[in-house]
Amino acid sequence: MLVAGVCNTDLELLQGYYAFSGTPGHEFVGEVVSAGDSSLAGQRVVGEINLACNRCEFCRHGLQRHCPNRTVLGIAQHPGAFAEFLTLPEENLHVLPDSLASEQAVFVEPLAAACEILDQVDIRPGTPVAVLGDGKLAARA
């Protein structure tokens, strides 16, 4: 683990929200130590936090983020990034370009979460929108 971001979700989990137990942390930049694909070894990566079952109806339709059987890195039944090491499936990893500093790349996950709405709603250039909230997601929207 190179860098891990602290999210309000992490703080809420540690205060007892969602009956959480385990290692929190889902925003991270890491270096691959070992992988089936040897070209990943030594690469700096960020990762998708949802670990889908790849068998249910949602997964069969490419909606792994909505899999009802998923575990979630550092949130639900999967140890998180506030550790020296973590494990994720290779398909969840995204290699970072050398030009992007780890301290910037740690915001990829919250930025991706904020941008996910664009997959769900047709927002065209010039369309008025309202962003509610004062957290990292709202700031990146």
Q: What is the count of structural domains for the chain?
A: 1
Question: What is the reported pLDDT for 132?
Answer: 85
> Sign of the CA dihedral 29, 103, 80, 46?
negative
Domain of 81?
3-140
> CA nearest 108: which of 93, 123, 122?
93
pLDDT given for residue 44 in this prediction: 99
pTM, full prediction: 0.86
Amino acid at 68: P
Give me the pLDDT at residue 43, please: 98
Averaged pLDDT in 10-residue chunks for the chain of 141 residues: 95 89 96 96 97 97 93 96 97 97 96 84 90 77 67
| Neighbouring C-beta atoms of residue 63, cutoff 10 Å | 13
Structure tokens at 19: 């009956």
Question: What stretches of the chain show up as alpha helix (H) in DSSP?
Answer: 8-14, 57-60, 102-105, 108-115, 117-120, 136-140
Predicted confidence at residue 141, as pLDDT, reads 67
Write b or e for each residue in 76-103: b if 16 or more Cβ atoms lie within 10 A of its Cβ, otherwise e. eebbbbbeeebebeeebbeebeeeeeee
Please give the pLDDT value at position 56. Answer: 98
pLDDT at 69: 97
- Rounded to whole angstroms, the Cα distance separating 81 from 79 reads 7
- CATH number of 123's domain: 3.90.180.10
Which pLDDT does position 71 carry in this prediction? 96
* 140 alpha-carbon distance from chain centroid: 15
